[in-house]
Structure 1
Amino acid sequence: MTDPAASLESLPLRDDLRGMSPYGAPQLEVEVALNTNENTHPVPPEVVEAITQRVHDCASSLNRYPDRDFTALRGALARYLGHGLDEDNVWAANGSNEILQQILQAFGGPGRSVLSFVPTYSMYPLLALGTGTEFIAGERAADFTLTAESAAEQVRSHAPDIVFLCSPNNPTGTALGLNVVEAVYEAGRDSDTVVVVDEAYAEFARFGTPSALTLLDGRPRLIVSRTMSKAFALAGARLGYFAAAREVADAMRLVRLPYHLSSVTQATALAALEHHQTLLATVEDVKMQRDRIVDELKRMGLTPAESDSNFVFFDCGGDAHAMWQALLDRGVLVRDVGIPGHLRVTAGTEAETTAFLDAVESFLAR
C-alpha cells in the first residue's frame, strides 16, 4: 500500500506545507470520549423536532441558493447576545474556525502577522499558515497566566496586524480579565491591530466572569468570536459567529465564499436559537461536573487549573502519556495536549465523569 505521506511529497505542494500533518484529535472508538470538548449531552428531543421541521420546510427550495447574507440568522444571533447589538454587528460562518480564517483573510495575509500567547488553541498557527500570515508565538508566565502588562508589552514589541486572545483559553480553561483585552487593544492602537477575543467557551464561565462583548462599544478594531458547537451541543452543525462593529462584518463579504452558509445550516441554527433556553439547560450540568473534576483531582493530590470552560487542564504529577494510555485502556479517552506532565479532559455527563475519575484513581493507586 502506498504511504500517504510519500504520496503527498510527490505533489507540488507549497514548501511551507511539506512535512505537515492534518489537525485533529484521535478519533477512537471508546466508551467514554472526553478529548474534544464537545457537549456530551445529546440534543433534547423537542429541539431535534424543531430542527427537523425547519429543515423539512426549506428542503423543497434547496434547488435555489440560500440567503447570501443570512439576515434572519444574524438578527437571531444578535438578539441572543444582547448588549445592544443588531444584525449589522454580527457575522457567521461554518464553525468558529472559518470565522477566524475569514478574519485572517481580511486583515492578515502575506507580509502581515498574527500574535497569540501560547499555549493556546492549536489551530491558530495552522489558520495563519493557510492564509500566508506570519504566526508570532507570544509568551505566558510559567503558570500559563497572562497579565495585562506582559500582553501589552508584547503587542508593542511585535506590532502585529492581528491578536488572538483565547478566553477562556484552550487548553488551560482560564478566562482573561477584561483589563488584558483593554491593554492589548490600546497597545495595538499605533499599529492598527485587530484584536480578536475567542470566546468559544464563554457560556461555561464561572459566575461573575465578564465577556468582552461589554467592550465592543467604541472599539472598531475589536471582534468577539463565539460558537454554537459547545454550549449549544451543536458541534455537528458547524456554526460559528462574531460580534463587532458594522464595518468589520462588511469586510467579511470581501473574502467569504459565495453563499457560504447553506439553507440547512441556517435553518438548523435558527431552530436552535428559538430553543436556546432548552439547549443551554445542559450548561449548568456540565459546569457541575467540571467543578467536581477539579475538586476530586485536588483530593487525589493532582493540580488542576480552575476552569471557566467545559474542560479541565491538569498537572498529572508525572508521565502524562502513561496516564493517557492507562485511561484509554479503561475506555476513557482524554487529550494529551503536548505539554509535559499535563492532560486535558472534557467535563461530560455524571456517568462519564465518574468513569474518568475512577480511572484516574485506579492509575494513581497502581
Structure 2
Amino acid sequence: MTGLFDLPIRDDLRGLTPYGAPQDHVPVQLNVNENTHPIPEEVATDIVKALAQAVMGVNRYPDREFSELRDSLAHYLGHGLTRENIWAANGSNEVLQQTLQAFGGPGRSVLGFPPTYSMHSIIAHGTGTRWITAERDSDYEISPETVVTAIEREQPDVVFLCSPNNPTGTRLELETVVAAYDATPGILLIDEAYAEFAEGDTALTLLEGRPRLLVSRTMSKAFAFAGARLGYLAADPAVTDALRLVRLPYHLSALTQAAGVAALSHAPEMLAMVDDIKAQRDRMIAALPGLGYSPVPSESNFVLFGGVADPHLTFEALFEQGILIRDVGIAHHLRVTAGTEQETEIFLDALSSLVGHSQHPTSDTIGRIGE
C-alpha cells in the first residue's frame, strides 16, 4: 500500500504531522476552546431564515467582496473602522494563511513565541515560510524588551503574537505591541481570537497610523460559531488589497456570509454568555490550587494548569469519566476549556477524585489507566 511519503510530496513537508485535536464524542468536551453554550434559540431561528433566503440564490456565485459582512464586522468592532479595513475568510486560520501567502512564503520568515497557538507553525510550514522562535519571559509574559531583542536578532518578515495567548491565556500589554511594531520593518499580526474574554484595551486601538499592523479575530469562540468557520482581521485598507492577490475566487460562500451577518445583528445576545464563561474560568482558577494544581492566570475561555505529575495519565483518567481536556505538550501541564456551570462542576469533581493519583500516580493507578 502506498504511504504518504511514497508520494512526491514537498521535501519541507516530510516528517510533519497535521493538526489533529481529538474529536471523541464524550459527554463533557473541554479540549478545543469551543464555546460550549448553544446559540440562543431566537438567534438560531433568524440565522436559519437568513440561510434559507441565501439558498435561493446559490445557483449564482456569492458576493466576491462580501460587502455586507464586512460592514457588519466593522460595525461590531467599532474604533472608527469601515469595510475597507476588514477582511474575512473561512476561520481565522485561513486569514493567517492568506497573510503568510501575501507577506511570507519561500525565502521569508515568521517569528513566534512558544508556547503559542500550534497552527501558527503549521501554517508557516504549509506556505513555505520559515518558522523561527524566541523565548518568552517568566510566567509566559512578553515584555517590550524581550520582543524587541528577538526581532532585532532574527529580522523576521512577519511576527505573530497572540493576545490572549493560546495555550497560556496570558494577555499582551499594548506597550509590547507598540515596541514590536516599531522594531520590525515587516508585518506584525496580533491574533486576538479570545479578545472578548479579556480585560483591557485591544490592539485595534493601535491601528491608526500603523499600516503594517494586523489584528485577527474569530467568531468561533465568543460567538459560539466554531462550526460556521468565520474569521476576520482589521488592518489598513492596503492590507486587504494585498490579501485579494492571494485569496481564491469567491472564497466565502453565500451561506457563510448570510450566517455571519445574521449572527452579528444579534451581537448582544450572542455575547451574553461571555460573562458566564469568564465566571466558570475564574471558578476553576480559584478551585485548582485547593486540588494541588497551579493554574496560570487567564484572560481567555480556558485555563492552563500545572502540577500534573503525568499529563497523559491524568488525561486518560478524565477521559474514562467522559471528560475530554487537552494535553498541549507542556511538561506537567494540561489545558481545560471553561464550559457551562454544569460542565465545570463535573470536571472539578472528576479532577478531585484523582487527587493523589494524578499528582503522584502509583504503579497500580498507571496499570489501571493504561488498560
Partner of 1:66: 62
TM-fit CA distance, 1:325? 1.3
* TM value normalised by structure 2: 0.95
Q: Which amino acid is 1:26 matched to?
A: P
Give the 5 Å matches for 1:208-247: 209-247=200-238
TM-fit CA distance, 1:139? 0.9
TM-fit CA distance, 1:300? 1.9
Q: Which amino acid is 1:256 matched to?
A: R
Partner of 1:150: 146
TM-fit CA distance, 1:365? 4.2
CA distance in 1, matches of 2:356, 2:26: 23
Q: Which amino acid is 1:274 matched to?
A: S
Q: Of residues 301, 305, 320 in structure 2, which corresponds to 1:314?
A: 305
Partner of 1:174: 170
Q: Of residues 335, 342, 350 in structure 1, which corresponds to 2:341?
A: 350
Q: Which amino acid is 2:64 matched to?
A: R
Which stretches of structure 1, 4 residues or longer, exceed 3 Å deviation after superposition?
Answer: none
Q: What CA deviation, in whole Å up to 9, does each residue of 1:202-258 have, x standing for no partner?
A: 00113xx21000100110000000000000000000000000001011111100000
Q: Which amino acid is 1:77 matched to?
A: L
Give the 3-state SS of the residue equivalent to 1:231 in structure 2.
coil
CA distance in 2, matches of 1:182, 1:121: 21
CA distance in 2, matches of 1:142, 1:77: 36
User: Does structure 2 conserve the Cα–Cα contact (< 8 Å) formed by 1:337 and 1:343?
Assistant: yes
User: Does structure 1 conserve the Cα–Cα contact (< 8 Å) formed by 2:308 and 2:334?
Assistant: no
Q: How many residues align?
A: 357
Q: What CA deviation, in whole Å up to 9, does each residue of 1:75-103 have, x standing for no partner?
A: 11000000000000000000000000000
Q: Of residues 73, 79, 87 in structure 1, which corresponds to 2:75?
A: 79
* TM value normalised by structure 1: 0.96
Partner of 2:242: 251
Give the 5 Å matches for 1:262-281: 262-281=253-272
Partner of 2:7: 11
Which shows bigger deviation, 219-228 or 135-144?
Answer: 135-144
Q: What CA deviation, in whole Å up to 9, does each residue of 1:87-136 have, x standing for no partner?
A: 00000000000000000000001110000101100011110111110000
Mapped pair 1:203 → 2:196: yes
TM-fit CA distance, 1:8? 0.8
Which shows bigger deviation, 10-19 or 304-313?
Answer: 10-19
User: Does structure 2 conserve the Cα–Cα contact (< 8 Å) formed by 1:316 and 1:343?
Assistant: no
Give the 5 Å matches for 1:315-330: 315-330=306-321
Q: Of residues 155, 158, 162 in structure 2, which corresponds to 1:159?
A: 155
Partner of 2:116: 120
Q: Which runs of 5+ in 1 are unaligned?
A: none
TM-fit CA distance, 1:301? 2.6
Q: Which amino acid is 2:301 matched to?
A: N
Q: Tell me the C-alpha RMSD between the 2 structures.
A: 1.0
CA distance in 1, matches of 2:42, 2:307: 40
TM-fit CA distance, 1:50? 0.6
Partner of 2:363: none
Partner of 1:298: 289
Q: What CA deviation, in whole Å up to 9, does each residue of 1:44-101 have, x standing for no partner?
A: 1111111110011111110000000001110110000000000000000000000000
User: Does structure 1 conserve the Cα–Cα contact (< 8 Å) formed by 2:308 and 2:314?
Assistant: no
TM-fit CA distance, 1:266? 0.1
Give the 3-state SS of the residue equivalent to 1:143 in structure 2.
helix
CA distance in 1, matches of 2:222, 2:278: 11
CA distance in 2, matches of 1:318, 1:159: 38
Q: Which amino acid is 2:175 matched to?
A: N
Mapped pair 1:133 → 2:124: no
Q: Of residues 167, 186, 190 in structure 2, which corresponds to 1:193?
A: 186
Mapped pair 1:364 → 2:355: yes
Q: Which amino acid is 1:333 matched to?
A: L
CA distance in 1, matches of 2:127, 2:308: 38
CA distance in 2, matches of 1:262, 1:63: 12
Mapped pair 1:339 → 2:330: yes
CA distance in 2, matches of 1:122, 1:175: 17
TM-fit CA distance, 1:28? 1.1
Q: What CA deviation, in whole Å up to 9, does each residue of 1:251-279 have, x standing for no partner?
A: 11100000000000000000000011111
TM-fit CA distance, 1:10? 1.7
CA distance in 1, matches of 2:236, 2:162: 20
Q: Which amino acid is 2:141 matched to?
A: T
Give the 3-state SS of the residue equivalent to 2:133 in structure 1.
strand
User: Does structure 2 conserve the Cα–Cα contact (< 8 Å) formed by 1:47 and 1:275?
Assistant: yes
CA distance in 2, matches of 1:13, 1:306: 42
Mapped pair 1:27 → 2:23: yes
CA distance in 2, matches of 1:213, 1:33: 32
TM-fit CA distance, 1:145? 1.7
TM-fit CA distance, 1:317? 3.7
Which shows bigger deviation, 276-285 or 137-146?
Answer: 137-146
